Amino acid sequence: MDDPELIRLDTPTRDLWPPKDPNEEVEEEDEESEEEDEAEEEEQPYVKFRRMARAVKMLIHVCHVCKSLLVTSVSQESWFALLDNLIAVTTLQQSQKKGREFVRLVQNGAGKFMQLTFDLNDYKQQKQTEGLFTDEIRDIMRQRPGTRKQDKVDEVVKCLKSMSKQFREYPFTVQRKIVQYSFYDKYKHNRVILREGLAPDGIYFNVSGTLITKPEGRKNTEEIHPGDKFGEEDLICGCARRSTVITRHEVELLFLHRF
């Protein structure tokens, strides 16, 4: 039988001899860490910029994908297809249809007859509110919420009170707060504003354009005209959005977020 001492002597000694100094091992580790730190410091600014740009580009791509999925899911609903056809027919009819005018001849002070016309469409709510939301009001509402001056807020309050019956139902102090803390935004045709099933995040006031909604439990769609508000009922009951709201034309909205 072999001697155990001889076996130990026959084993390789390159890993055992010469013995390593513990201080040398610590110095090697320090050198490696210093090399890593130097490599990080030597990274050029444009390299960091390219890395961050790739991350931003990826986030933008994800946002576009999410938006396309949302639009696709809404467009696949049966009521949306019917609505799209109704919009096309209504737009064609409105372009061909002229307002009915009442004409009457009256005699002026000089004895001559003058023609007076009266168009009922000019006195409808949607027609009356078209010129009330002026560029000056838009500039005020584009300011950051909470920083609008009080005299400017009162101008917007006066404008909204002349546009919206629902806005006039609030107390004056509440009207001021709505104008002070609401956001202004403009949306194009076929843009989803509210999505059924999502958590309620605030209320909206329509100041121009028309939106379409299909309330829960109803077969027919409804229109949201300038001066109307929507989204408040879901906020009061604390339930998820019970209907989807999309833009029929280009619209302008005031949005009061639930903080």
What DSSP string runs through the chain? Answer: ---HHHHHHHS--TTTSSPPPHHHHHHHHHHHHHHHHHHHHT--HHHHHHHHHHHHHHHHHHHHHHHHHHHHHHHTSHHHHHHHHHHHHHHHHHHH----EEEEEEE-TTS-EEEEEEEGGGGSHHHHTTTTS-HHHHHHHTSPTT---HHHHHHHHHHHHHH-HHHHTS-HHHHHHHHHH-EEEEE-TT-EEE-TTSPP-EEEEEEES-EEE--TT-SS-EEE-TT-EESHHHHHHTPPP-S-EEESS-EEEEEEE--
Query: Percent of the chain scored above 70 by pLDDT?
Result: 58
Residue 52 has pLDDT above 50, yes or no: yes
pLDDT, tens only, 238-251: 788 888 899 988 99
Task: State pTM to two decimals.
Answer: 0.53
Local confidence band at 139 (pLDDT 50, 70, 90 cut-offs): very high
Domains of the chain: 115-257 (2.60.120.10)
The overall average pLDDT reported for the chain is 74
pLDDT, tens only, 167-219: 888 889 889 988 999 999 999 888 889 888 888 888 899 998 889 987 766 77
